[in-house]
Amino acid sequence: MELADFLHTWLQSWADIQKLGVDRAVAWGFWGTIVFTVVEAVGLISQTRTLWRSPEKKGESVDNDWMLLSTAAFAAFIPYGYMASSFASFLNGCALAPLYLPIVIGLWKFKGFTKADWALTEVIGCALVFDLLFPFEVVRAVIFFVFAWGSLICCARVPREMNKHQSTGVVDLVMLLCFIGSSTFWVGYAVAMQYWQLLMIPVPTLAVLIWTLVIWCRWWLIGLEKDLAAIDQARREREEAES
């Protein structure tokens, strides 16, 4: 009973949980965020499978810096959510940050890290330690937003990479769709909770992800057309040989 009482008191200490029973918009945003944390986790697991099942593609079109900074952003979201008294944000960071690690490891294993990638990793590590040593709201907000914006900028390079390689590479469709859904709900959640500063991240992220999906579909359709043409050519050659 003592453990149950402790958990109940701890959960009731979060600002967003306190508003669940009195504000319908907050409740929808809160539970939507929780649900789409699970959805986004599914997307990351799907991306991990795609990456590790195609080692010959060497992480094609998946930007190393994007995944490194995304990992850092969700790790920074844990203390940031705690400071903002947002349980949904806190849980989002705790659940998703570890799921980026297999992707980062896969990119290191199959694609390799440049000196710049290793330097970025060191900077991220130092920033996260600084975040923990100096638990001030402004420090945690700045670190989170720097990581989040850096991740967004690197994500915007993915369509260019797909155009460069003229293929979807190992960019996973399920991950894109899950991220788009999650970003949509984060917009609603930020508005409902009046966390206006959070809108600076999901709104441009949503735009970049939708554009990435458009480019992904373009190269997937081109690849499908080539595959169908190859199958048709093989069929014709077989028919000619039989005749």
Name the DSSP letter for residue 57. G
Reading the block at residue 164, the tokens are 């460069």
The Cα 13–Cα 204 span in angstroms is 31
| Residue ranges covered by each domain of the chain | 23-242
Does the pTM of the predicted model rise above 0.95? no
Angle between helices 24-53 and 173-193 (to 10 degrees): 160
Place of tokens 């441009």: 204
A 10 A CB-CB count for 68 gives 26
pLDDT-derived band at 1 (thresholds 50, 70, 90) equals low
pLDDT per position as a tens digit, 68-109: 999 999 999 898 888 878 788 888 899 999 999 999 999 999
The Cα 92–Cα 103 span in angstroms is 18
Name the DSSP letter for residue 136. -
pLDDT per position as a tens digit, 7-61: 777 777 787 788 777 777 677 777 887 898 999 999 999 999 999 999 898 889 9
CA distance to 128, 215, 220, per residue, from 229 (Å): 51, 21, 14
